Structure 1
Amino acid sequence: MDLTNSTPPAVSSAPLTLALIVASDREGRFGPVVADWFRTRLAEREDFTVTVVDLAEVDLPTSLSHDPSPAVRAELAKVSPVLADADAFVVLTPEYNHSFPASLKNLIDRHYTEWQAKPVGFVSYGGVSGGLRAVEQLRQVFAEMHSVTVRDTVSFHNAHGRFDQDGRLQDPAAAEGAAKVLLDQLGWWGRALKDAKSVRPYGS
């Protein structure tokens, strides 16, 4: 077969649509401080456009139903289209009792195709573990959703002591370097999977 005149498929150069999921809905949460820092890192990038899904602003009951009430449908309307339109995700999560928040599991369980064949990155925070135990559990959950989790993460050990009273990160070099690696990997996977799905739709 002569391949000399074959034309490679078109590759899009448009920015990837990224959904940043702020997982904690706990009163007095530290998540917005970390989220503001990470959004600053995202603002430096031209390869992503960002939409924030803050689970403290979404009121979803933990009881699941195939026929949700109008009130639940209204809440889902705030998040489901954002997840469906996203090319990639970053989950920003604390660690609660060696795991991740119930609000995040609820969001994940209420969706399926929205997660499929898309990359997921993690920014975590907590005490000594920096939220990494929550991330390891989330990797298993997202594998069940047919998502691809990127290897490198950003984690903040003893997070409250890492930021000053104005929310500025002290000694930011290592975290900024980790954020760049995470977003570079997320961009590669996001582009690769988006281009692949344009040629052959994903089917689980």
Structure 2
Amino acid sequence: MPDSCAAWGCKNRRTAQSRSLGITFHKFPKAKEVRRQWEIAVRRKGFSASRSSVLCSEHFKLQDFDSTGQTVRIRNGAQPSVFNFPKHLQRPVTSRTTKTSRKAEEKLSVDTFPILKETEPLIVDHSYALPSSPTDLKARLVEALARVESLEREMRNVKDRERRAKKMVHGLLEDLRRNRQSPCFVKIKHKLYRTKLRNLHIR
């Protein structure tokens, strides 16, 4: 059975679909003090996390994550703080009071800025990915609109050529109807008839 997020009202489960959406799941800390802070943060009365209890990544802020390794982890001392609680459950998360927690908080505030700077550049791997700056985005948009306009002009030209060709054919047919008995038309018919007979003889 897939792991389910332990947060109040959260229905995220560890599935292929959640993985494709970039949602990760994280077990409760082993340290009793931090573990208890997580349990209080989820606002579930009488809740006690088991070994398999997890919280999904949607309940953490960006600076709570450590992505320097091969897997995404929660930083030491970080607490879940992003929830959608009803009014009767909305109250401040217990503040850090211990020396260890304060140190972790200080380290987090120092480390956050460099980490965010490292992850700031956006690598555009595909032609359909959005550019990283408004200027590039505007240039891409102008290019796309110009291409659309060019295709529309080309389509209009094709339709105009088609109309002219139909008009010319219609005019030729009218001329043939009017000159059906003219010597020139009779000569053409006779030539076509002889060609047809010759082809039959060859066969």
Is the helix fraction higher in 1 or 2?
A: 2
On whether the aligned pair clears a TM of 0.5, the verdict is no
TM-score relative to the length of structure 2: 0.24
Larger Rg: 2
Q: Which has the higher contact order (CA 8 A, sep 6+)?
A: 1
